[in-house]
Amino acid sequence: MEFFSKAKAVKLRSHLDKYLVAGDDHETVRQSRNGELRKARWTVERVANKSKAIRLKSCHGRYLTATDVPFLLGMTGTKVVQADMDTNDVASNWKYEWEPIRDGFQVKLRSWCGKFLRGNGGTPPWRNSVTQDDPHTSSTQNWILWDVLEADELSESDSVAEYLSSLSGLSSVSDEVLSELGSPVSIKSVTSPKVSSPKFSFKLRKHSNLSNLSTESNKFRSGMDLFRNANAVRLQSHLDKYLLAEEDEETVTQDRKGSSKNAKWTVEFVPGSDSIVRLKSCYGKYLTASNLPFLLGMTGRKVVQTLPRRLDSSLEWEPIRDGSHVKLKTRYGHFLRANGGLPPWRNSVTHDIPHRTATQDWILWSVEIVEIAVRSPGAKPSDLPPRETLPHSDSLEFESSSPSSGSITYANFSRQESSDSYAGSPPKLQGRTIYYHIADDNGEVDDESVEGYSFSFRGNGVDELTRKFEEETGIEGIIMCTRSPLNGKLYPLRLQLPPNNVPVQVVVVLRSSKG
């Protein structure tokens, strides 16, 4: 409650750096990157006789309401809407009440049924939606966390900004473009702790020092200082391998050969922003977060080299400092991830959200400056003209001068694996050889006549084999299957593996697979 105790109005920012906004239809609630609009402003009302409950009223005079209507049939999340309070039915007023629960410097808002206000990401219809739900997996734990920002009084500029926002539904103007236009309305962070008594509490104050503290906090969070004076960099993963642009001018992998020209990435700054960079390979193509799945049924998506006709948001990366390392976040909340483990993941690069504690370090990169950019002392990266002036777009669908992104393959793993050792061949591991294929989302294998991937395994238990595979790949919820020689159908492995360390052929299927 200390986040709301002194505030008359607040703005709530989700884990996607988007704000909770009230829809123009006076009913829906969604997320938007433009926090300057009055639609992102929520008036705080304390609930009488309830010290731990608040109500949030939108700019339309309606309350943030948790319903029991499913957002999508068959899904657990339920709709969050704007609704008028029924003064004739006081007993139902609990639908408009939220209990703030502090979680570090953020809050969780719990509804009447014990669920939490959740900012959803992903593909439509979840993208930018807001529901109430419980986090079911470790990857969605942050989806119920919100930053609380104090909102100033409404001004005329809010009406102008809102008018521009209304154009986004009729033209190509997006939330990101509107957010760059900005407005004089200032937002002051309330995450600055101030001790006023033996109890730790937060004070909401309209004071310039608090605004300055917020600015310094954002600078500390940003990793732009690692790129600010760089003309070109190398990125080293947690595996001590470098981000490499392959000679096919399309794929992106990892390799220990950091001295290669393919490990050099030219830094470009996005005009109008001092927190976003683009990275260009030695072939003049941009590091791109595509929307193509790396493997069917898996969460990770391909990272490739492209040279689209229009510079869109799939080329943009936000450096976020994490100690001496940096995380590179896409404009859609994913992170550049260096995969380890077994083929086809070994030496691959995707963008994803780490789902397990064991893979948290997979999104950390060390930045090595290869070329220093000489600039005037007062110049900012965002003030510099872009190296190439091309139209800007915000579509994830890009067209490349290279072959179609849909034809990208990651077949040449033997060459990649050969660079994993510095000198000589590693000693051959004892144990049986496990040959495996990976089934698609329907439980089908494209061509089992083609030799699959393999790894060495010492053990006889199916559970032990499953755990090793999950640890090596960072993927949870798999089933080890074998194909029946009688009818060709897949059956889960239940018993011990064959004795005498004979080779075993399995098919890896996700539990969520439709097959």
Alpha-helical runs (H) found in 383-461: 413-418
Residue pointed to by tokens 């060495």: 456
Predicted local distance difference test score (pLDDT) of residue 354: 77
Q: Does pLDDT of 382 surpass 60?
A: no
Q: Which CATH architecture has domain 9-221?
A: Trefoil (2.80)
Predicted local distance difference test score (pLDDT) of residue 383: 52
Q: Per-residue confidence at 458, pLDDT binned at 50, 70, 90?
A: confident
Closest CA to 239 of 337, 340, 326, 327: 340
Q: Does pLDDT of 411 surpass 60?
A: no
Predicted local distance difference test score (pLDDT) of residue 449: 63
Regarding pTM above 0.75, the answer is no
Helix (H) or strand (E) holding 328, with range, is strand 325-329
- When pLDDT is averaged across residues 109-117 and rounded to a whole number, the result is 89
Residue pointed to by tokens 């033996």: 198
**Could you check whether 9-221 and 224-407 share the same CATH topology?**
yes
Which runs of E-coded beta strand occur in 159-315?
Answer: 187-189, 193-194, 201-202, 230-236, 242-245, 252-255, 265-269, 277-280, 286-293, 301-306
What percent of the chain has pLDDT above 70?
A: 69
Predicted local distance difference test score (pLDDT) of residue 511: 77
Q: Per-residue confidence at 418, pLDDT binned at 50, 70, 90?
A: very low
Domain ranges of the chain: 9-221, 224-407, 428-510
Q: Per-residue confidence at 507, pLDDT binned at 50, 70, 90?
A: confident
Among 20-29, 165-174, 232-241, the range scoring the smallest mean pLDDT is 165-174
Mean pLDDT of the chain: 74
Q: Does pLDDT of 179 surpass 60?
A: no
Alpha-helical runs (H) found in 150-275: 156-167, 175-181, 208-221
Closest CA to 509 of 493, 497, 486, 488: 493
Alpha-helical runs (H) found in 403-481: 413-418, 462-473
Is residue 307 within 8 Å of 315, Cβ to Cβ?
Answer: no
Please give the CATH number for the structural domain made up of 224-407: 2.80.10.50
**CA 386 to mean position of chain CA atoms:** 26
Please give the CATH number for the structural domain made up of 428-510: 3.10.20.90
What percent of the chain has pLDDT above 90?
A: 25
